[in-house]
Amino acid sequence: MTSFNSDIYSLSAKQVEVSQFLSQPANLHEILPQDRIENWKVDGDQCSFKIKGLADIALKLESTSDSQVIYASTSNKPFSFKLIIVLDAKDDGSTISAKFDADVNSFMGMMLKTPLTNFLNSLGESINRKYS
């Protein structure tokens, strides 16, 4: 498993508020880069979409707590992965970071590092804008 990590973002919202928002698959549409997403669908605890020029993605909410929200891919195409959003409580709000654990070899990991890190940071920035 190869891991990719976002920066850490400070939020003015409480940890539980952000966790509750992120644990609803329908809400992910709000934080995804709108100019790159098409064919958005949501069904209960699952969502799917296409990243323009790349791959079809299907996610299922795997687990949620105040400190972590985990989505797992429901397909092995292009590869299996988990999106893990980590939340830490702070006196004046919370912090958030995202981690992407992908089942890829080290060569593929090197190729994916920049685009996936940029994607994770884009998610972090979107959440930051929502809760600042």
What's the pLDDT at 132?
Answer: 80
Of 63, 19, 116, 3, the C-alpha closest to 11 is 19
- CA distance linking residue 112 with residue 46, whole number of Å: 24
- Report which DSSP code applies to 34: G
- Specify the pTM: 0.93
What's the pLDDT at 97?
Answer: 97
- CA distance linking residue 63 with residue 61, whole number of Å: 6
- CA distance linking residue 114 with residue 98, whole number of Å: 14
What's the pLDDT at 7?
Answer: 98
Structural domains for the chain = 2-130 (3.30.530.20)
What's the pLDDT at 83?
Answer: 96
What's the pLDDT at 75?
Answer: 86
- The tens-digit pLDDT sequence of the chain (132 residues) is 899 999 999 999 999 999 999 999 999 999 998 888 999 999 999 999 988 877 889 999 999 999 999 999 998 888 899 999 999 999 999 999 999 999 999 999 999 999 889 989 999 999 999 998
